[in-house]
Structure 1
Amino acid sequence: MKYLPFLLFISVFLALSSGDCPAEQDEMYLIVVSDAITPGISDFLVNALKQASQNNAAGIIIQLDTPGGLAESMRKIVISILGCKVPVIVYVAPSGDRAASAGVMITMSADIAAMAPGTTIGAAHPVSIGSRPADKKITEKIINDMVAHGKTIAEKRGKNVDWVEKAIRDSISATESEALKAGIIDIVAEDLDDLIKQINGRSVKDKGTLHLDHVNIIKIKESIRTKILKAISNPNIAYILMMIGLAGLYFELANPGAVFPGVVGSTSLILAFFAFQTLPVNYAGILLIILSLVFFILEIKITSYGMLSIAGIITLVLGSLILYKK
């Protein structure tokens, strides 16, 4: 019994030391994003920003290369960046890459916006995923909403408000030197080392001064979960999954007992519907596509002289056209 206090001390010490230790101030997180802005990317970035805030890191660098993406995913990222407790640096790199469309908002929402030589930023005009003719009033509302959102971000970060509006309304773009001159970004850096050197000692509003003389760069990699979510939340992949699912169920019902088509089809449909939860889908489009499957199955059971097949093709095409909202 006389060793009990000592054993308790050792137990508590080991329990505390085995947990997640908070990051020291000399640790800078790095995230590399080279893809469209989808729910998978949004989830990855939001979690990384939370981790940086919780661990009180010196800051977090988002190395960005994107052609754009979904507006809702972009908004979630921007909200997380604006609410991050540590300095956030968005660095468009390496040379030849870009921050287009949604990438503009993400870059400008950072505490420090940087670009590498040979990169571009701009072309933030909203576009539709689907192929339906654009409704002018709806399009105008979307553009006005995006302009207001962009202006708010630019004003908060002290960036060029007029340029942001032109990037959204007129799809203008700028090179790294033009962006620096126009007050869109803060720094042009050759590489990551040059970026660290230039931001060292820089004061960030409400977040203190960056002291990076002995900083340790920690790269946050995508988890398997993030990779899978990113893949299936791609609109094209989600659509393909649904087509595979419907085809699998069709073959299973046409050939009862085959099993394999039914297993593949049901699994693909579940994954597709999961992806649709995170995408701007029109459920009328989904219902039309399901209706087309019903017509194809009925064609097997009923002699319609091809009429049900024609109806199935028409509803499939219509459903595919209106599947994704603007």
Structure 2
Amino acid sequence: MKKSALQVLCAVILFFSLVVPVFAKPGDLVYVVPIKGTIDPGLATFVERIYEEAEQAGAARVILEIDTYGGYIDAAIRIKERALASTVPTSSFVTKKAISAGALITLAGEKIFMASGTTIGAAEPRAGEEKADEKVVSMWAQELRATAEAYGRDGNIAAAMADSDIVIPGLKEKGKLLTLTQKQALDLKFADYAALDRAEVLKLSDLSGARIVEVQPGPAEMLARWATSPYVSPVLLTLGIAGLVLEILTIGWGIAGTIGLISMGLYFGGHILAGFTGWEAILLFMVGIILLLVEALVVPGFGFAGVAGIAALVVSIVMSSASMEQAVISLIIALLGTAVLVVASFKFVKTRRVWSRLILGLRQEKSAGYVAPEESLTQFLGAEGITITPLRPAGAIEIAGVRIDVVSEGGFVPRETKVKVVKVEGTRVVVRQSNEG
């Protein structure tokens, strides 16, 4: 009887070991990281932190849930490099789209899962509205190729997503960028699995029983992403510079200066949190402001302090920017915006006298009782003289040893020609050739 019971127990155990699917080991951790919106340095800093946390926790896997139209190339490369270097394996799950920089991040996954109706590709690098130069295109295409080949995928397909000159017979013609649907990616073995949702990704990864850690950016990381956005960053810079300039030129401390300080604090604080720069950029910016204050309030004219101050401001902004291109764009927008705001503000605020040292503001009008001094030349009316320069029609004549600037009544008059003064209007003397009258 005991033997029969033991046999039944063994049969049951064997049945469940063969039929019941394998679940994750107790204690397995899976970190789920959202890759959404613009790929920017703030997101890269966030992802780097999560990988470090996952490694320290001994996680079984990191799943990148991707839905993006792309963003900064350097930020995408940072995320890709961190994923490839991590001791925790990565799975990429395209929930909607993995376009441009999102394609590179997707390729950094050991396994790629794609939901129904999703796409990956169209990764041509851009410089504003224009295609990037050949060097950038080549570099970016090779980044995609190398990342794809790291996990045995077709590098030529990956490169064709960025380089329109690459031809793949039956798939892509020259002059077009490659974008793959879910079905195409699976058929070409560019993606590994179709998955409806995260639960299916976990099931296909033998991690159905894992403990999920769904991470989101913290307040500081969200601030960094917001402040370093290519749309927000120039606005903060404009408000910061314009606010501080207005505070220098207007009487008393007011709203402009407060807005300027807050804007510059958000600008530099966000860029420091994103890992673009350190406190040296803020220090250099403050030095630039101090030098401009010295130039405006202490040193007459515009000299070394003003030039050095402007240079310090420009360098500090370049140091804190994601790239030289972004720095130039932000500076141009900020300077144009500052000029408009400063000029417009002078209609509503009372300025310091320092502004009158920079531009001439005094208007001398007859209605205010101003009368221009006149040199009395009426004594020369009717007198004759000799031209000492050609008159075209303006020039000079000499009368009784006195040089007089005159205007010819009849056009060109050669040098050393006898002329007669026919009209005197203040300092304007009109002459004609003597043989004409």
Higher RCO (CA 8 Å, separation ≥ 6 residues): 1
Structure 2 Cα separation of the partners of residues 87 and 77 of structure 1: 14
Give the conservation status (yes or no) of the 8 Å contact 2:249–2:355: no
Please state whether the residue corresponding to 2:65 is helix, strand or coil. Answer: strand
Alpha-carbon distance, 1:119 to partner: 0.9
Asked whether the 8 Å contact 2:112–2:193 carries over to 1, the reply is yes
Query: How do 1:96-115 residues align onto structure 2 when only pairs under 5 Å count?
Result: 97-115=96-114
Counterpart code for 1:228: L
1:32 and 2:31 aligned: no
Indicate the residue corresponding to 2:205 in structure 1.
199
- 5+ residue gaps, structure 1, are 1-22, 201-211, 306-326
Judged with a 3 Å threshold, the aligned counterparts in structure 2 of structure 1 residues 289 and 156 are, in CA distance, closer, same or farther, namely: closer
Counterparts of 1:68-147 in structure 2, within 5 Å, are 68-93=70-95, 97-128=96-127, 130=128, 139-147=133-141
> In structure 1, what is the equivalent of residue 156 of structure 2?
162
CA contact (8 A) 2:99 2:120 kept: yes
User: Secondary structure of the residue that 1:114 maps to in structure 2?
Assistant: strand
CA–CA separation in structure 1 for the residues paired with 2:27 and 2:98 = 29
Q: Is the 8 A contact 1:26 1:57 kept in 2?
A: yes
Q: CA deviation at 1:270?
A: 3.9
- Determine if contact 1:24/1:58 at 8 Å carries over to the other structure: no
Report the counterpart of residue 209 of structure 1 in structure 2: none
Aligned equivalents of 1:249, 1:116: Cα separation in 2: 50
Q: 2:187 aligns with which of 181, 185, 197?
A: 181
CA distance in 2, matches of 1:160, 1:187: 16
When residues 273 and 285 of structure 1 are mapped into structure 2, their CA distance, relative to the original with a 3 A threshold, is farther
Write the letter of the residue equivalent to 1:113. I
Distance 1:66 1:141 in 2: 25
Aligned residue number for residue 62 of structure 2: 60
Which of 33, 45, 52 is 1:50 aligned to? 52
Q: Give 2:359's aligned residue.
A: 302
C-alpha distance in 2 between matches for 1:288 and 1:69:
21
In the alignment, does 2:218 pair up with 1:223? yes
How much has 1:186 moved relative to structure 2? Answer: 0.8
More helix by share: 1
Deviation by residue 1:158-193 (Cα, 9 ceiling, x = unmatched): 112121111011222111111111122111101111
Q: Corresponding residue for 1:190? A: 196
Structure-2 residue corresponding to 1:249: 244
The residue number in structure 1 matching 2:256 is 261
Give the structure 1 partner of residue 228 of structure 2: 233
> CA offset at residue 24 of structure 1?
7.0
**Counterparts in 2 of 1:38 and 1:197: CA distance versus 1, 3 Å:** same
Counterpart AA for 1:197: K
Per-residue CA distance 1:104-129 (angstroms, 9 max, x = gap): 1110111111111011111000011x
Aligned equivalents of 2:232 and 2:26: distance in 1?
40
Contact 1:60 1:87 in 2 (8 A): yes
| 1:288 Cα deviation from its structure 2 partner | 5.8
- Report the Cα distance in structure 1 between the residues aligned to 2:34 and 2:45, rounded to whole angstroms: 14
TM-score (norm 1): 0.74
Post-superposition shift, 1:251? 3.0
Whether the 8 Å contact between 1:24 and 1:56 is mirrored in structure 2 is: no
Distance of aligned partners of 1:288 and 1:199 in 2 relative to their CA distance in 1, 3 Å threshold: closer
Q: For the Cα contact (< 8 Å) 1:24–1:57, is it kept in 2?
A: no
Give the number of equivalent residue pairs: 264
CA gap 1:24/1:52 in 2 versus in 1, 3 angstroms? farther
Q: Distance in 1 between matches of 2:332 and 2:108?
A: 40
- Cα deviation, residue 269, structure 1: 2.5
Q: CA 1:261/1:180 → structure 2, altered by over 3 Å: closer, same or farther?
A: same
Report Cα offsets for 1:259-283 as digits up to 9, x if no partner: 2211211231243345362411355
Which entry has the higher C-alpha Rg, 1 or 2? 2
Q: Distance in 2 between matches of 1:183 and 1:262?
A: 58
Identity %: 26
Q: Which has the higher strand share?
A: 2
Q: Name the CA distance, whole Å, in 2 between partners of 1:73 and 1:87.
A: 20
* Unmatched runs of 5 consecutive residues or more in structure 2: 1-24, 165-176, 272-316, 344-353, 363-437
The alpha carbon displacement at 1:69 in A equals: 0.8
Conserved? CA contact 1:88–1:110, under 8 Å: yes
Q: Residue type of the partner of 1:167?
A: M
